[in-house]
Amino acid sequence: MSDLFQQESPLVQIEFSEPKGAAPRIEEKPFNGYLNLRGRSDHTGFIAGVLKVLGVEAPTEANTVIDAGDNRIYWFGPDEWLIVTKPGQQTRVRNDLLAAFAGVFSSVVDNSSGLTTIHVTGDNAAALIATDCPLDLHPREFKPGQCAQTRLAKAGMTISPLADGSGFELIIRRSFADYLLLWLQDAAIAFE
């Protein structure tokens, strides 16, 4: 049995169905790796460690996300990032980072089961999310390459526009995932 077979997404109790009418498509991209990265962005050892393992520096511009090969790095705060890896890669990336940070004030914490990713796509993707997200999702204001930690209804999320402009990626917490999906599905009724 490979370990992937032993996994269950937080959304196991949710039924995903084909969108009706003009409702956006909502799908899960399960089982990515999620690493919470902490460090002082002005510390050379830290910068070098990230560069060494991920091939890029952690973004220091607020509310941005960058691609780093197979991985993506989201700015979370002045000393905090989220690294999203391909499924199953998290342990290797974590161990490499931990090794690269030897002696450097930093933290790399595996939160892979704590988060999951949702894609909301289609013409009304922004409208669906805007039902209860206070962020301005207009393409003039929120472009691919940007990301934001904000809220959706009564739960937190990290949102970023998909590169192809088809919609948004939402990274949400496991224990709120069920609620948020039910919430989005209910909100989608307005577009059916």
Tokens for 69, please give them.
């090969």
50, 115, 118, 159: which one binds other proteins (CB under 8 A): 115
106 binding other proteins? (CB under 8 A): yes
SS3 186: helix
Q: Enter the tokens of residue 116.
A: 């999951």
Tell me the C-alpha distance between 25 and 119, whole Å. 8
| Interface with other proteins in residues 20-39 (CB under 8 A) | 31, 36, 38
Q: CB of residue 18 vs other proteins: minimum separation in angstroms?
A: 19
Under 8 Å between Cβ of 120 and 70:
no
Looking at residue 50, the DSSP 8-state letter turns out to be: H
**Judged by CB under 8 A, does residue 175 bind other proteins?**
yes
CB 20 within 8 A of CB 32: no
**Residue 3 near other proteins by CB under 8 A:** yes
Give 8 or 70: the residue with its C-beta nearer to other proteins: 8
CB of 93 to other proteins, least distance (A): 15
Binding site for other proteins (CB under 8 A): 1, 3, 6-10, 12-13, 31, 36, 38, 62-63, 76-80, 91, 105-107, 109-115, 127, 130-136, 138, 140-141, 148-151, 153-156, 173-176, 178-180, 182-183, 186-187, 189-190, 192
